[in-house]
Structure 1
């Protein structure tokens, strides 16, 4: 069970071991990547391993996150040297202090897993975030939504930086992967309404001119969805937060609905469809007006 992590020594010992292994490989690491690395190690160890319950995670904006692991990484801050890329590496004088032989003697399987993950540093830095989404995300929609929709909206100030038609196709593909869970029914309706407006904007050849007005609604679609996922896909350690996280999701959903409704102002009035679609009607409209996008 994940009701508490009363002894942080396991987390700190694992953190020290990994910081040592990264140092001897001359590999820096960010807080975000360390959290992902430990998540991967945990998943390979499996739920039956005694350390699994000491490493509690939940899914959020940028994938799996763990507050105790975050805190452990911060705890050793005075032992780090910092690079201009936002990464850290152990100071030279700390190497012996972090040579945690007793811990890894108890769990030699962690050494084997870590060596496999870090043996190719370029592959590790480039792939670990995407690999985790592909292998472990709670819903199939999350990998394309995060990397083919959200990241583009977050990073691209100009529509010339990406393939516009492929982007819109990916949005329709994501709609087809929305969860059937009733918890997301209202969210799915909002998503479909946005696609209806987006399709008319594109039909009028205004996607490029409207891009910087569409970026925030698209990012908010991902963030609201991630808030819902956080409620359902968390370890028991975080159960005490469920009520407040659920309120946060519902509040975000209400704000998102207003934001998405405002995107109809980017469509010429004579092009607007009726506004009060049921979820089933919205999907039917999108299947008709957006069918060419799904090829």
Structure 2
């Protein structure tokens, strides 16, 4: 039986050991890298290792996420020199040393490796790094044809899982309209209006993803997570239905968002900020 995160002494000890080893190399540890590093350690240990059960995860917006790791990280400054984890599991030291020996790998390549090696669906890597990251970081689209081609590649790798059937249909409808916008050379003009709905495609998928890809520790959340996924599906379906009309209205108003457009954007961002 898994222990609650605030009583997870083995996780606390593991996280502090990682933090200490990074300090020795004058490397930092933020909450995002803590999630990925502990997940990588967990996967290296293997599912049958005694420590693995103390490291519960589910897949979400930015990869594997553990509420227990988040809780432990928030308390890391309160830890004493608790390195008992290595006394109990000596193999941890070599695993951590290998993980942090290369700064570029730890900070830049590890997130990519996690998606490539451990993501449960092939769809995740291309959509996260070729679509989501583009719309999340760029305020202008440089090559819309390449972007659309990457989008179609993602469509070809949508999960073959009946739980995601409705999502796949919405994704394909959205892409069909996005492709038409590109063919009419309107992608650049409407890029700012399209960015958040495209990101919401990813956030919506992630809400279903955590329902399907979680450790048993999080089973108590299944019903509420399923409900949140279905609510996001309804919102995306509504947006796709009025997508063309909304863009036409946007064009008529001298590049100012329509009230509906603003509501869509606010809803997508708000949904993300209010959710874990």
Both structures adopt the same fold (TM-score exceeding 0.5)? yes
Change over 3 Å in CA distance of 1:246–1:178 after alignment to 2: same
Distance 1:98 1:149 in 2: 43
Change over 3 Å in CA distance of 1:68–1:5 after alignment to 2: closer
Q: Where does residue 206 of structure 2 map in the other structure? A: 226
Change over 3 Å in CA distance of 1:129–1:181 after alignment to 2: same
Q: Does 1:197 align with 2:172?
A: no
TM-score, scaled relative to structure 1: 0.80
Q: Where does residue 278 of structure 1 map in the other structure? A: none
The structure with higher relative contact order (CA 8 Å, sep 6+) is: 1
> How far is the alpha carbon of 1:266 from its aligned partner?
6.0
Query: Which residue of 204, 211, 215 corresponds with 1:235?
Result: 215
Distance 1:120 1:165 in 2: 36
* RMSD, aligned α-carbons: 1.9
Q: Does 1:258 align with 2:238?
A: yes
Q: Where does residue 27 of structure 2 map in the other structure? A: 27
- Cα offsets for 1:176-220 (capped at 9, x unmatched): 001121111111111111111111111111111111111111101
5+ residue gaps, structure 2, are: 249-276
Query: Which residue of 121, 133, 143 corresponds with 2:125?
Result: 143
Distance 2:184 2:4 in 1: 55
Q: Where does residue 42 of structure 1 map in the other structure? A: 42
Question: For this pair of structures, how many residues does the alignment match?
Answer: 249
Distance 1:177 1:264 in 2: 26
- Misfit runs of 4+, over 6 Å: none
Query: Which residue of 94, 105, 113 corresponds with 1:123?
Result: 105
SS at match of 1:230: helix
| C-alpha contact 1:58 1:234 (8 A) present in aligned 2 | yes
Q: Where does residue 213 of structure 1 map in the other structure? A: 193
Q: Does 1:134 align with 2:116?
A: yes
Greater radius of gyration (CA): 1
Distance 1:6 1:16 in 2: 14
- Cα offsets for 1:41-72 (capped at 9, x unmatched): 00000001000001000000000000111100
Q: Where does residue 263 of structure 2 map in the other structure? A: none
